[in-house]
Chain A
Amino acid sequence: GESVGLHLPTLSVQEGDNSIINCAYSNSASDYFIWYKQESGKGPQFIIDIRSNMDKRQGQRVTVLLNKTVKHLSLQIAATQPGDSAVYFCAENAPTDSWGKLQFGAGTQVVVTP
């Protein structure tokens, strides 16, 4: 994951449009990636995951794309809704001897406008 300044990057999206949230990961050995959604005052909520043997995975209204060549991960949200307003962050797992340890990015603030 990467660290950013005190102010999170913000993505403003009009309701009904598609959102694309990007994440650059740091470790080329990472083999598992997760996207989380965090609403204000709540804990992070699992959205979707992907393993390094895949380059795309789809869920309900969400798609995760993985480009291992440039160490880039993206989350696409179709038909963005007001309830999608939240901070989204990615996490990567670099395998260790005994267990997986997640590294988290600082996140992107998504604001959905009517």
Chain B
Amino acid sequence: DAGITQSPRHKVTETGTPVTLRCHQTENHRYMYWYRQDPGHGLRLIHYSYGVKDTDKGEVSDGYSVSRSKTEDFLLTLESATSSQTSVYFCAISEPGATLDTQYFGPGTRLTVL
């Protein structure tokens, strides 16, 4: 998984509770991404980061926030989880340059919101 770990790998939570997912990389890549994957949909971008403290929204960012205080860590927070946020969440990394577009993925976090 290209030196990417995600934690937790599985989580069950209740509606209205805050949840934070962590992505950690050992590749020193500048770009990091959070996606969600749902049946019938391709991977959809939630937020991405292009450096420490530099983040921006993706196509499905409502209800999510992110933070990146260190190159190696990218956190995804659900401030108040809803059942529609039940999904599998993937972190990805890429490196600027010729291979900027090639994203490498972590193992995923399966989140269930009851």
| A residues whose Cβ falls under 8 Å from a Cβ of B | 1, 3-6, 32, 34, 36, 41-46, 49, 89, 91, 93, 99-107
Contacts and interface: CB of A to CB of B under 8 A. Distances in A.
Contact of B42 (A34, A41, A103): A103
B74 interface: no
A3 B40 contact: yes
A6 B50 CA distance: 33
Interface in B15-37: 31
Contact of A42 (B31, B96, B107): B107
B42 A1 contact: yes
Given A44-B43, A93-B101, 8 more contacts: A3-B40, A3-B42, A42-B107, A43-B4, A43-B108, A45-B105, A101-B45, A104-B43
A49 to B, nearest CB: 6
A44 B90 contact: yes
B100 A89 contact: no
Contacts, number: 57
B42 A107 contact: yes
Contacts of A106: 40-42
Question: What size tier do the contact residues of chain B reach?
Answer: 20 to 34
Contact of A32 (B41, B50, B101): B101
A30 to B, nearest CB: 10
Contact of A105 (B31, B42, B96): B42
Contact of A104 (B4, B42, B96, B101): B42
Nearest to A31: B101
Contacts of A104: 42-44
Contact of A49 (B43, B102, B106, B108): B102
B1 interface: yes
A88 B89 CA distance: 18
B107 A34 contact: no
Nearest to B96: A99
Contact of B104 (A42, A46, A103): A46
